[in-house]
Amino acid sequence: MASPTPSPSARSAEALDTKTLLAAYRTMVLSRAVDDRCLSLQRQGRIGFYVPASGQEAAQIGCAMALAKEDWVFPAYRELGVALWRGITVGTLLNQFVGNSGDPMKGRQMPNHYGLRDANYVVASSPIGTQITQAVGAAMAMQRRKARAVTVTFFGDGATSSNDFHAGLNFAGVFRTPTVFFCQNNQWAISLPREKQTKSATLAEKASAYGFDGIVVDGTDLSAVYQAVTKARDRALAGKGPTLIEAQVYRFGPHSTSDDPTRYRTDAQVNEWKQKDPILRLQLALRSAGALAEADDAKILADARALVAQAVEQAEATPAVEPRTLFDDTFKVRTPQLEEELAEFDRLLSEGVIRP
């Protein structure tokens, strides 16, 4: 095992200024606050499922900071920090977790599988690795349209064993698509440790078989991730093809709320990695630079928790999805068969056979 705000246009790979670092820190704290509350909500039966991102905030937000608004994100299902940085609000996320009428997807996706067109953030799906080939296909479309944009796809170490990983990287290498492959190596594919997944010294080196560069970066270092992604994006836009980035991080919590990590890893191991907690790491850097007073830091945390609490309250007070929407969005105009089924559905609703 290895050692342990809305996005502006992409910046250069110069050192990040204090204002930007503070914005990143606030987003990281907010991401952790959402995680903490949503894990609690799931245990209380108030949402059905949740996938935490604690420990991976610097990797996600550092990557998102290096992207431009016109770039497209193809997430797995753990990229909360990316979503927040690209402007997806906590309220929108909570509506999706609850599955109420405020959910842009009308409750049709399982919790934590969100997306938003306005943020160029594609809806996540559960099958492992499928987003990788989708991102490559979208990048090829960008090439043909001569668009000045890239796609970035997120996945974990376990997904490097999937068919879509190898098919996607091979295709991207052959056609030199403007794709950034961002692997969050959090050391566990659910309960399978990284060393039992592959004998490759690194996951990044797998890129060389497909004809392009792979690099390893400390995923707990926000600035290091930002610079790595900035350079990969610049290469892609210059026609030099894709890059595979392996961000080495550690998943502090469970794989999901369906998982019990105490069955396959020790507290000592988790505590060792928590010494490199990305939020504490950036906090110490900002305090050492005199950019973050203790009182201001306490307010950032309090504001984040208050924002999450308000979003939970509003989401739970928002009415459920109107059941007739079940018949919307499949076709631009409903087919005769769907009209018949809707009429039957209305009858069953009126008779109380079906209850909203």
Instruction: Kindly report the number of other CB atoms within 10 A of residue 210's CB atom.
Output: 19
pLDDT of the residue at 71: 98
Angle at 50 between CA 57 and CA 54, to 5 degrees: 20
pLDDT of the residue at 4: 45
Mean pLDDT of 3-7: 39
The more confidently predicted of residues 295 and 11 is: 295
Mean pLDDT of 215-225: 98
247 pLDDT higher than 50: yes
Neighbouring residues of 354: CB distance < 8 A, sequence distance ≥ 6: 323, 345, 348
Q: Where are the domains of the chain?
A: 18-320, 322-356
CATH architecture of 18-320: 3-Layer(aba) Sandwich (3.40)
CB distance 233 to 150 below 8 Å: yes
pLDDT of the residue at 14: 55
Q: What share of the chain is helix, strand, coil (3-state, %, to 5)?
A: 50, 10, 40
Q: Residue 1's pLDDT band (boundaries 50, 70, 90)? A: very low
- Distance between CA atoms of residues 282 and 354, nearest Å: 53
Instruction: Kindly report the number of other CB atoms within 10 A of residue 7's CB atom.
Output: 21
The DSSP annotation for 179-199 comes to EEEEEEE-SEETTEEGGGT--
For helices 222-237 and 278-288, the axis angle rounded to 10 degrees is 100
10 pLDDT higher than 60: no
Query: Do the bridges between strand 192-193 and strand 188-189 make them parallel or antiparallel, or are there none, so unpaired?
Result: antiparallel
pLDDT in tens, 329-353: 989 999 999 999 999 999 999 999 9
3 state DSSP class of 5: coil
User: Active-site positions?
Assistant: 251, 255, 264
pLDDT in tens, 13-67: 457 999 999 999 999 999 999 999 999 999 999 999 999 999 999 999 999 999 9
- Own/partner long-range contacts of 327-335 (Cβ < 8 Å, ≥24 apart): 328/106, 329/106
Residue 338: in which H helix or E strand, if any? helix 336-350
Mean pLDDT of 157-165: 97
Q: What percent of the chain clears pLDDT 70, i.e. is strictly above it?
A: 96
For 156, 305, 338, the CA distances from 165, given in Å and listed in that order, are 11, 37, 38
3 state DSSP class of 145: helix
209 pLDDT higher than 90: yes
